[in-house]
A and B are shown apart, each in its own frame.
Chain A
Amino acid sequence: MEIFYEFLNTTGFAMMTWGNAIMILVGITFVSLAIMKDYEPLLLLPIGFGAIVGNIPSIQGMALNVYDEGSVLSYLYFGVSKGILPPIIFLGIGAMTDFSTMLSNPKLVLLGAAAQVGIFLTLIGALYMGFNPSEAGAIGIIGGADGPTAIFLASKLAPHLLGSIAIAAYSYMALVPVIQPPIMKLLTTKKERLIRMKAPRHVSQREKIIFPIAAFLVASLIAPGALVLIGMLFLGNLLKESCVTERLANTARNAMIDIVTIFLGFSVGASTQAQTFLTPQSLLIFGLGALSFAIATAGGILFAKLMNLFIREKINPLIGAAGVSAVPDSARVVQIVGQKEDPHNFLLMHAMAPNVAGVIGSAICAGILWSVLVK
């Protein structure tokens, strides 16, 4: 009987805290949002289930959770905590991305730079609240709206905030269709939302092959800290565009990215144990993350409006909102908001240009912050 009582004391029910229960509910909410609302299901589902797994109380002395040395979960989490998995995701993204629209209208690249203002203003906000510079940099990168980049930088600058930053980044990416439209409508007039843009020109295969090599050289020579992310992104794209490594490109954009997404999502979720996650700090990070997304969206739109003052062929300022990477969700949001005004206006292909430029921009920002803030 004594053994039975001892066993009962080691069950999850006996050791469950209110914090664990809340986090399990958060995990269930994520899974429900993924399944019922289709909000970033590829990420929210593994993250949500990971949060449930990570909040089952473990027995003292048994290596079970991600923070226990030698546990299975700690090995899965290793790829996250050391920043290994994000570059592999970038390889897959590169192998999926078609830079044609960006190559056909190079001025739209600048929108991808303008939207990065969210990162730096949030960094200032985080410093103002009392976070140290490294933590502030890691929090600011949430404004890049790029999950892998946020995880990569957080693992380098503020590993103790990794769980909160990753969850905030992916949650807001899932909420792009909710956060962006009100800001887009607030900052544009009906006339601006009705602007139609010229169809993109045909881009030759040679341009598509030369671009990843040249853009890598420019970006990594300017910000060497972005070398790993940018390098993998453009390697993936070169595999795709070269037309001689179709098998590798296929693997990178299908099987490989899927496997890595499962491990990354699950282990990030499992790292959100109530004891380390449910802190006032996490709440501040969530608040700053939302602010960061809003500023980044506004930055892109306002810069598009500014560009319209100087260029002859006007651009629809809505596409500036796609500068916040979040590929391809923010481009899709631009298309939806644009079509509400004019059902025959197709902005998706135009929005993809600042969207992919935003991916490059946020990776460069991560490189800059890492170079400047590394101790």
Chain B
Amino acid sequence: MRSETLFSEVMDPKNRANPYPLYELFRQTPVAKQSDGSFVVSTHENIRTLLFDPRLSSEDLPPSRRPHTGNPIKDWILNPIKNRVVTAHRPFIFRDPPDHDTLRKFVMDEFTIQRVNDAHGRVESLVDEFIERCRGRSEVCLVEDLSYPLPVAVICDLLGVPEEDEPHFQRWATQLATALEPDARHDETGRHAIVAAFDEISAYMRKLIREKRRRPADDMLSRLAKPGNKRTPGMGDIDLIATGILLLVAGHETTVNLITNAMLTLLRNPDELEKLKADPERAPRLIEEVLRYEPPVHFRTRKATSPIDIDRVTIPAGAPVILLFAAANRDPARFANPDRFDPDRADNQHFGFGGGLHYCVGAPLARIEAEIALVTLCRRLREPRLMSDPPPYRSGASLRGPASLGIHINGIS
């Protein structure tokens, strides 16, 4: 197989269940130019190097473009202005310093250890509640019954989004998350769907923020929406909306994969499941290994702003650069027996949460959710067995995870 077209194989849904043999091929050409001019980077050392390189930009999305409506005022005045504003106020995952830093700091200041630890009890009771709902059944779908609703409930709680509104933006979140998938960017219909979802969720968020300003509550959105003063200016409204949406989408689309992948891996390694049952203290190590072995996000795209020499290849200015985190996580030059699932592994410096200045803001929260979910599942599900292996996968190649995970159980304890 030629390395120039290998990434289209990664994108192909037929390889979703097991992309790892493709990643192994990629690592043989650590910086692989693709026929579309992009470069795929797949080894641990090279990705680490690039994550700390100031010539790699995250502002890689094509500018926002609303579809033609036929209404001249919209097409020639309103929408071009909207497009410019939206493009300039992307969420900070798609921004570079210094704007990125300012916006991220607002969120980091709110994502305190205190607040994450406070979520502990709430996560525990949610997990128990979701599992309790499965009482009397012999089959559960982990995604539908727990991995999806749990992070959604937690992020809504943290942000202060009313529970009854949640069903509205499940669709928006799924649509917006495709912005991370390269194929959705090139596909005109896909891009318009993203823009449409963005408009709808923005309108919702704008309303919610207005509400928070009127009646501030003890939640993140209320605090982020607090007007600043001369010395410490607050976040602008458009950035605030983008940030709120980012947190909401991230809460919807990533932790679901972490929890599902973790349970899938345990069901494939029953001895590890038994060990976790006997010793819940193993959970943190186990989750770290899942983050390496089956990460929730497989790759992210950047753009070179000036030529970069790396591993005897020159990436030209302007070229898209795909950081294939999931391949680096199985790089034999960095991890001994990389294809072995081994929670006792020492020095497990994976890219499960990315790295560098865009390292996952919600990592501590995701860890808590996954640890509690896994420990409780192992304790409470009696004789869990996979209904089919591999399970069906969601379409995303970057945000990769099972669409559903059917598990036979012999009741719950």
Do A and B share a complex? no
